[in-house]
Structure 1
Amino acid sequence: MFDEGGCMRWRWILVVIVISSVFSRAAPIQMKEGDSVVVAGRAARVVRYDVLPYIETSFSRVCVYDRYDNPKLAELRTKYNLEKVVSEGDTELEKQSLLMAWAHRAFEFGDPTAPVGDAPANYAGLRNALQILELAKKEHKFFCVQYASLLVSASASLGWICRPLGHSTHTWTEMWSNQYGRWVHFDPTGNYYWVKGDVPIDTYTAQRCLLSGAKDLAVIVGGKKTDREIRKYAAYSYIPNTNWLDAGPAYGKAYRLTVPQTASLPEGEDPGKEVLFPLNQAALSCEEHPEGLEVRIRTMTPNFKTFLVRVDGKEWQEQGERCVWKLHGGKNTLEAKSVNLFGVEGYPSTVVLEVK
């Protein structure tokens, strides 16, 4: 006979058990460089804590990235020898710059609606990189948005994330740098990126630096620092999708950013936080464990494959989203990074503890 009351009692017991397990879990240990912490009953000092956080925003939730198994990406990569295009770069930034230079040289800037010979043309709305390159062979010219389209899809074919930005008169891109752990302004129409000091920077950071009077900004053209001024943008939009070989731009979900025109910002009023979320990170949180620390790894890695972890400089090992970091007296080092299906490795997280 069906015992509805007994069934209800089991439901309540199950709920109590679940709630109890949730609330009994140890809170993550907060760390920053220089902190003193107690781990498994032992005093420790945080010597280094270089970890990109896991951040979701309204904009990040609507972003769509091209897929590893998209045959058009493979066609673009192989037909135009893109791996060879970037092969002479020693660093990721150099490789990404070489890809931008390739996109810059792919066709001549000009009106995409201008006819070539007797053939009419109306290609202002074209965003498909494969079609753009075929038309370029027939001497068709294109605008900035086609340069951006080409770099967005070419980057995707090599496992990099390159997102389009623009306003009413210009389109450019930002590439996620696994080398620097940040977004980087890349303009394939002009073949340049921006730096502050020796660090490449994104569009919004550059605009804020201009407003604050920073003196160490520069424009890098063809790999060389120039005396050109950084272009000013008061407002522009971030397009949330990179799958332009198939879908075209999702302008309806674009994020419009207006740059505050003041040298400083009130607390909590920085619009850049909405769009500068990290990608390909290995965000770490650590909880107490009898042998040291239980480490949880989170990431926002498009086409994610696996995590790699190594301890004390030993061999990298594939790892799930949780692992136990067994600590010993003296210096302890944990490194972790994500890897996508293209084999591209994300920005490595590094934690160093000195345990007494």
Structure 2
Amino acid sequence: MSIESAAALEVRGQFDQLQYCELKKAIVLNDMLLVEDDAPAIGRPQGAEDRSWFEKLQEGVMVRKDLVLDDPRALAAYLIFNGREMDDNDHALHISINGHHLIRPPSKIAHPCARHYYTSDWGGSHFDNWFVVAVPVGALRQGTNEFVLWAESEETSWEIMVAADGEYKRGSETRLCHPNRSAKSRDGGRTWDFEHLGWKDEIDGEYTIRLSLDRSVPQGTFVSSVIDLATGGDRKRIEKLLDIEECRVKWEVDVPEGSQIEIEARLGDNPVPIAAAWSPFESVANFSKTWCAPAGRYLQFKIVMHAHNPLVTPVFKGISVEAKCHEHKHRSNRCYHLLQFRNGRVIRPSLPYVHEDFARLNELRHRFEATEFEAQLQLMHWAYKVPLGRLDTYQWNYFDLPRLDRDASGRPRLLGDYQKRRRDGHCLYCNLTLIAACLAMGFPARWVNISTKHTYGHEVAEVWSNEFDKWIFLDATRDYYIYDPDTGIPLSLVEISERLAEIMPGPATWEYPIQWHLPDLEMLRAARVALSGGPEHLILKGHLQMVRRNDFASRPWPLPWRLSSNWGSDLFYCFYSDMFPRKREYPQHTKRWQDFSPPLNQTELFLSETAEPDVLRVDVDTETPCFDAFLVQIDRAEWSEQTDPSLEWRLHEGLNQLRLKARNSAGVCGHEHLIGCGSINELALHLQNATPGHSRRLAHRAGSQSPISASTTSTTSKAPSTAARCTRPKTSSTTGTMSPGCSTGWRARRTISTTSSAPTTGPWPIRRAGSPGISTPFRRNSYSRIGSDWAESPPVLRFWPSCIGA
């Protein structure tokens, strides 16, 4: 019997409105629900002037918001609204919830630590904020709930934003008009006007008033990765050719009263879940299922959880697999010994990301044929210097931004030095230009908003690096990135957020924002990062918000942001942690790096025996945006291409080698995990002659790093490859050889050396891209995701064909 725990299944599983609970060691429903109807249209409406999209609260003006609840039960409830409180305000905000009156005192009394609400100490007070007010759960009811807000001041003391009806069709593909649940009264609530909102009475729409509930969401879905029924979770490097006589799978769940779990499963004869050779999903009764002579040896399942009572959640703890197997009658008597295997690892995000078609930006690429783009940093420096146009904030298009004029020599005109480090223009413009340039060159890139509670926001970029197998933060506004001071490896925003969390005295919340925890910016220098510039650039990078699309050359809508106000669109996907808790104004959150920073351009190889002697089946999985083809090289033959994710590998006497990589439609390839040609035989001989104990130590973990250790100035990437040596042992038992399916290897370390007089020590070493004469020496590992095994050593296979039992 093999058992897969929820913790193990979480690593590669896909979550929709679910979370992994450390306390229960189980997968459960999300425990926070947002009720809103304004998100598609939040922000400044097109053509609006004089802040007419805000309602000014003062004596005589009341605003009303109706929100509909399917079930009023919750552990806690919070009224969320977007607006402003006047500087040094002395007047309370009055709130009525279904006739229950409560008072929210002015912020300087109620929440003195949250100075962003009532002073300009931490930013311009003209910028709107998200306010959070705890409300009694007992005041809520099923169906329509009426919220009324007002102030009793002679002058304006509070403002509430209005989301205009005309903006809904730009911000959503499904919610195309407002539901007409907002109204204003100028006579103390005796009459209500649903059509003339805003202080100028000229907007029809919805007030940005929302309700956040601590309760289980109504439904969530978990989709598992592929499980080998013959070996359970212990997936060998080379799968034996086996037949399954009978198999029983049991799902361990708790289903409290008021909840429900539905399970569906499917079988396939291929370990790649997107392959055609899979059955449809079928329902599983009583949380267990037995198959006799199943149609395939691979299983994938789906769990749908329901909470009819929002105060409870179903619990999924794991599965157990029992299988009765025997060798296939046509299995050849070959014993394959794996010497080394560096494999990619495909992890699909829980929610889909819409990638731009690289071909849509060919025009931008062709205009720059005369320039030399040698790396992504040069692209960032170009985005830092290129003249920019103005983005149509109601119809985004990459081509609105870069001004591609040429000088007399035919090279693009670039701007000169700026008065300050920051370049001219809005931070979104230059970083969207950087993203467009990266996409034109075939590098996946995306826009991320950074705005820690509570800082005002900043728009930056991340680009996928095949060199480091990770997302890398870049900012074309100041032409810099952030890296590990010990290794020189560039960092992703998730990694930066994690390192910022290490120095936080407590969680950054709306009530106790980051400036309250770290009043002196110099305290940020304790973070384990290095960057160009001062620590003020780091304080923003706690909470992260990403829009799950970058196809602004193909689709101008749905519009994620109107550049006029705080963020709050339902298109944002938010990364949070214990020190940077969830922002209640957003509906979608994750604390899983797999969802926020999933690996791309990886090729994951699965090796299986076949009925034909010395032939292995190789199945390939990949998550490559704009995938074009797999490139395959066997031994020293020419590279060939194929789109079929399965191939047969015929082995021969001597050393066998297979290399494989994915190529996208722009011609950019993923990793070429190369084998050290001169060292493979030497290593094979070393393992042949090693003692059994030494051999076991060399093979201490599957998927370990390359045996090559070298110093090089090259930045050439490497590819998933397998190498095999076929020989016949002199006896049936060879001392020091490895058991079938094992692998060995150790971490490679490469050093990039450049000549420079730039400092390499100190708390803030310079890492500015494109700066003349500044090329700080740095060290890096070839593969940078520490503590995971999806960026492993090159796949090296060594096979000893022999008669079993001879």
For residues 3-52 of structure 1, give each alpha carbon's deviation from its aligned partner in whole angstroms, at most 9, with x where no partner exists. Answer: xxxxxxxxxxxxxxx97999354569xxxxxxxxx996314134232x22
Aligned runs of 1:295-306 on 2, under 5 Å? 295-306=618-629
Aligned runs of 1:64-79 on 2, under 5 Å? 64-70=354-360, 73-79=361-367
TM-score for the superposition, normalised by structure 1? 0.70
2:463 paired with 1:175:
yes
Task: Give the 3 Å change call, closer, same or farther, for CA 192–85 of structure 1 in structure 2.
Answer: farther
For 1:58, which of 339, 350, 359 is the aligned residue? 350
Residue 231 of structure 1 corresponds to: 538
For 1:96, which of 368, 376, 389 is the aligned residue? 376
Residue 797 of structure 2 corresponds to: 353
For 2:530, which of 204, 214, 218 is the aligned residue? 218
For residues 242-274 of structure 1, give each alpha carbon's deviation from its aligned partner in whole angstroms, at most 9, with x where no partner exists. Answer: 112343454533211113339xxxxxx952221
CA distance in 2, matches of 1:254, 1:344: 28
For 1:45, which of 331, 338, 341 is the aligned residue? 338
Residue 105 of structure 1 corresponds to: 385
Q: CA deviation at 1:125?
A: 6.1
Q: CA deviation at 1:84?
A: 4.2
Aligned runs of 1:134-283 on 2, under 5 Å? 134=403, 141-168=424-451, 169-196=457-484, 197-212=487-502, 217-219=529-531, 231-232=538-539, 233-248=541-556, 249-250=559-560, 251-261=569-579, 270-283=591-604
Contact kept in structure 2, 1:144 and 1:170, CA below 8 Å: yes
Report the AA paired with residue 344 of structure 2: L
Report the AA paired with residue 154 of structure 1: A
Question: Larger relative CO (CA 8 A, sep 6+): 1 or 2?
Answer: 1
2:607 paired with 1:286:
yes
Q: Counterpart of 1:42 in 2: which secondary structure?
A: coil
Q: CA deviation at 1:65?
A: 1.4
Q: Counterpart of 1:307 in 2: which secondary structure?
A: strand
Task: Give the 3 Å change call, closer, same or farther, for CA 217–328 of structure 1 in structure 2.
Answer: farther
CA distance in 2, matches of 1:21, 1:280: 38
Task: Give the 3 Å change call, closer, same or farther, for CA 328–77 of structure 1 in structure 2.
Answer: same
Q: Counterpart of 1:343 in 2: which secondary structure?
A: coil
Contact kept in structure 1, 2:450 and 2:459, CA below 8 Å: yes
Q: Counterpart of 1:208 in 2: which secondary structure?
A: helix
CA distance in 2, matches of 1:256, 1:103: 26
For residues 195-252 of structure 1, give each alpha carbon's deviation from its aligned partner in whole angstroms, at most 9, with x where no partner exists. Answer: 2213222110122234457986323x6xxxx897872422121111111234345453
Q: CA deviation at 1:151?
A: 1.0
CA distance in 2, matches of 1:284, 1:135: 43
If each structure's helix is expressed as a fraction of its own residues, which one has the higher value?
A: 1
CA distance in 1, matches of 2:458, 2:534: 22
Contact kept in structure 2, 1:310 and 1:334, CA below 8 Å: yes
Q: Counterpart of 2:481 in 1: which secondary structure?
A: strand
Q: Which structure: larger Rg?
A: 2
For residues 292-336 of structure 1, give each alpha carbon's deviation from its aligned partner in whole angstroms, at most 9, with x where no partner exists. Answer: 421111222222111001123442211321112233456443221
Contact kept in structure 2, 1:218 and 1:228, CA below 8 Å: no
CA distance in 2, matches of 1:146, 1:288: 53
Task: Give the 3 Å change call, closer, same or farther, for CA 172–295 of structure 1 in structure 2.
Answer: same
Structure 2 residue runs without a partner (length 5+): 1-277, 280-290, 300-330, 406-412, 416-422, 452-456, 504-525, 561-568, 581-589, 672-718, 722-794, 801-806
2:663 paired with 1:339:
yes
For residues 140-189 of structure 1, give each alpha carbon's deviation from its aligned partner in whole angstroms, at most 9, with x where no partner exists. Answer: 95211111111111111111111110035101111011222211111111
Contact kept in structure 2, 1:126 and 1:146, CA below 8 Å: no
2:399 paired with 1:130:
yes
Report the AA paired with residue 337 of structure 2: A
CA distance in 2, matches of 1:301, 1:21: 37
TM-score for the superposition, normalised by structure 2? 0.33
Contact kept in structure 2, 1:174 and 1:202, CA below 8 Å: yes
Contact kept in structure 1, 2:359 and 2:666, CA below 8 Å: no
Contact kept in structure 2, 1:301 and 1:338, CA below 8 Å: yes
Report the AA paired with residue 595 of structure 2: E
Aligned runs of 1:307-326 on 2, under 5 Å? 307-319=630-642, 320-326=644-650
CA distance in 2, matches of 1:150, 1:122: 10
Q: CA deviation at 1:285?
A: 1.6
CA distance in 2, matches of 1:246, 1:287: 41
For residues 28-87 of structure 1, give each alpha carbon's deviation from its aligned partner in whole angstroms, at most 9, with x where no partner exists. Answer: 9xxxxxxxxx996314134232x222222223x1x11112442xx1222233x1x44444
Structure 1 residue runs without a partner (length 5+): 1-17, 29-37, 90-94, 113-120, 263-268
CA RMSD between the two structures: 3.6
